[in-house]
Amino acid sequence: MDSENRKIPDDWELMTIDKIKANDKKAIISGPFGSNIGSRYFVESGIPVIRGNNLKADMTRFIDDGFVFLTLEKATELNTWAERNDLIFTAAGTIGQVGIIPKNSKYEKYIISNKQLRLRVNESIIRPLFAFYWFSCPIMVSYIQQRNTGSTIPLINLSVLRSLPIPVPPIDIQDRVINIVGSLDSKIALNRSMNTTIEAIGQALFKHWFINFEFPDGEGRPYRSSGGEMIETEFGSVPKGWKTEKLGEHIDVVKGCSYRSEDLQSSDKALVTLKSIERGGGFKLDGLKPYTGEYKQEQIISPGELVVAHTDLTQKAEVLGKPAIVRKVPSYSSLIASLDLSIVRSKNESTNIPFIYYLIKTEDFQNHAYGYADGTTVLHLSKKAIPEYKFVLPEKKLVKKFGELIIKLLNKIQNNELESEIAVSIRDALLPKLMSGEIKIR
């Protein structure tokens, strides 16, 4: 590894995890290997179980959500506890993932699953957050992945974990590194939190206006509760002037391009893939793949256009039918939809992209889409699913007003994401130099 070959400052020491672990027999533990926990021990509320979905390999400290829960009795029997300031490593599957349970975590105690390893450090030697930054920086993620001991499923074991190296500076230097990197991390976390809030505002506004029918009337009052006139339709009571339509009457759907693995080479063009869709909807950069292959002009995605996932690799349908509004990515001149996606384009002024985006995110559309899905292991969405969806079309001027409001929110989300990308690039460039002493902190 790079840090093993590079000279570190004289007052630093190159150690291993085995040397920085806490003075405790259970400072390093693995999950209950091969455990088959009976369903009767899982409860609605109890001791949260840390699994792979709580960790990432991109320096996200910890995802304090999405838990299953065990009874206190079963958790005590397993005795694989984790608590605040503990580091958690993925032991099987997507190795290289590491997290740290924050000081302000939702729960005081957790249990790690049978695919996790837990490290508790000696805080008189090393700050837990300093250790986290080191093990989650790209150079160490790659180093851990190269220590795979599995034949079919990637694995690391306790022996591998104990041998992982870490440069250890004096505590005051560690604190300064934490302050520098932490300030960038805080900016990234703040932007993510803001974007989550903005997205929730857009969804709440759509529901308030187009599901609860409380859009502002001519006098600015909520329509339905202020006595706005309603008419009966197959969807029940809806505002007068609204019509039942099929989505296909207002949109064009363009299927993405098929590609070969040899076409995924360095390029100024990139494919937007299934991995570009967040679970539940939304755009992310993780799934972009540089692309040199062929495509049709209509398969090019312009910033602000909408794509919908037509494939799901699981039966849970966490991505199938989910939409994302694609934004500009400065590092690529063109973005092209892959075969697992469809581009959805509005073809008249009765709808617009913000309206269609939140319409497709509704539970009603998602249930409709699932009814058009087939496949035993991989789910595929029928090409009829989107065009055949029936909905209540509001008056044109209201849809236009909604679109104008939401565009401002979407622009703010994009600006926050661009700021975060800059912060991430600065952090990722600085981190290995700070952590190895190549950049000296006064």
Q: Tell me the CATH number at 7.
A: 3.90.220.20
* One domain, residues 130 and 252: no
CA distance 381 to 220: 41
Residues 17 and 154 reside in one and the same domain: yes
pLDDT one-digit tens code per residue, 259-315: 999 999 999 999 999 999 988 888 988 789 999 999 999 999 999 999 999 998 877
Residue 243 — φ and ψ, nearest 5°? Answer: -130, 150
Q: What is the pLDDT of residue 421?
A: 86
Here the tokens at position 88 are 């958690």
Residue 287: per-residue pLDDT: 85
Q: Give me the sign of the Cα torsion angle 202, 275, 255, 336.
A: positive
336 within domain boundaries: yes
Confidence of residue 210 (pLDDT cuts 50, 70, 90): very high
Residues 144 and 255 in one domain: no
Quote the number of domains for the chain: 2
Residue 130 lies in a domain: yes
Say if residue 363's pLDDT is above 70.
yes
136 and 270 share a domain? Answer: no
CA 266 to chain centre: 25
pLDDT at 284 (0 to 100):
86
pLDDT at 266: 93
Instruction: Note the pLDDT of residue 28.
Output: 96
Say yes or no: 136 and 8 in one domain. Answer: yes
Mean of the pLDDT values across residues 77-88?
A: 95
pLDDT band at 317 (very low <50, low <70, confident <90, very high): confident
Residue 89 lies in a domain: yes
Q: What tokens were used for 224?
A: 């339905």
Which residue range forms the structural domain that includes residue 52?
A: 2-168
Residues 286 and 387 grouped into a single domain: yes
Which among 358, 364, 357 has a CA at the least distance from the CA of 326?
Answer: 357
What would the pLDDT profile of 92-128 be if each residue is shown by its tens digit? Answer: 999 999 999 999 999 999 999 989 999 999 999 999 9
Residues 258 and 360 both lie in one domain: yes
Residue 228 lies in a domain: no
Placement of tokens 């390893």 in the chain = 117
Amino acid at residue number 121: V
* Domain match, 143 and 248 both: no
Classified as helix, coil or strand, 2 is: helix
Of 114, 137, 168, the domain-final residue: 168
Q: Kindly state whether residues 34 and 164 are assigned to the same domain.
A: yes
Boundary residue ending a domain (153, 168, 183): 168
Residues forming a β-bridge with 165 = 16
CA distance 155 to 92: 5
What does the mean pLDDT of the chain come to? 91
Per mean pLDDT, which range of 20-24, 51-55, 404-408, 435-439 is the poorest?
435-439
Question: Phi and psi of 10, rounded to 5°?
Answer: -60, -30
For the chain, the C-alpha Rg in angstroms (whole number) is: 25
Q: Is 412 within a domain?
A: no
**Residue 3: which pLDDT band, with cuts at 50, 70 and 90?**
very low
Report the C-alpha gap between 65 and 214 in whole angstroms: 32
**Does residue 385 belong to any structural domain of this protein?**
yes
Query: Does one domain contain both 112 and 261?
Result: no
CB contact at 8 A, 5 and 139: no
User: Which tens digits make up the pLDDT trace of 225-250?
Assistant: 999 999 999 889 999 999 999 999 99
Band (2; pLDDT cuts 50, 70, 90)? very low
Among residues of the chain, what percentage have pLDDT more than 70? 98
Whether residues 11 and 157 share a domain: the answer is yes
Assign 34 a pLDDT band (cuts: 50, 70, 90): low
**pLDDT at residue 90, rounded to an integer:** 94
Q: Are 135 and 11 in the same domain?
A: yes
Side chain identity, residue 76: T
Q: What is the pLDDT of residue 155?
A: 92
Nearest to 147 by CA among 95, 90, 93: 95
Q: Is it the case that residue 8 has pLDDT exceeding 50?
A: yes
Q: Are strands 13-16 and 165-168 parallel, antiparallel or unpaired?
A: antiparallel
pLDDT of residue 35: 65
Domain's final residue, options 168, 189, 208 = 168
> Does the residue 319 lie in any domain?
yes
85 domain-assigned: yes
pLDDT, mean of residues 139-144:
92
The whole model's pTM is what?
0.79
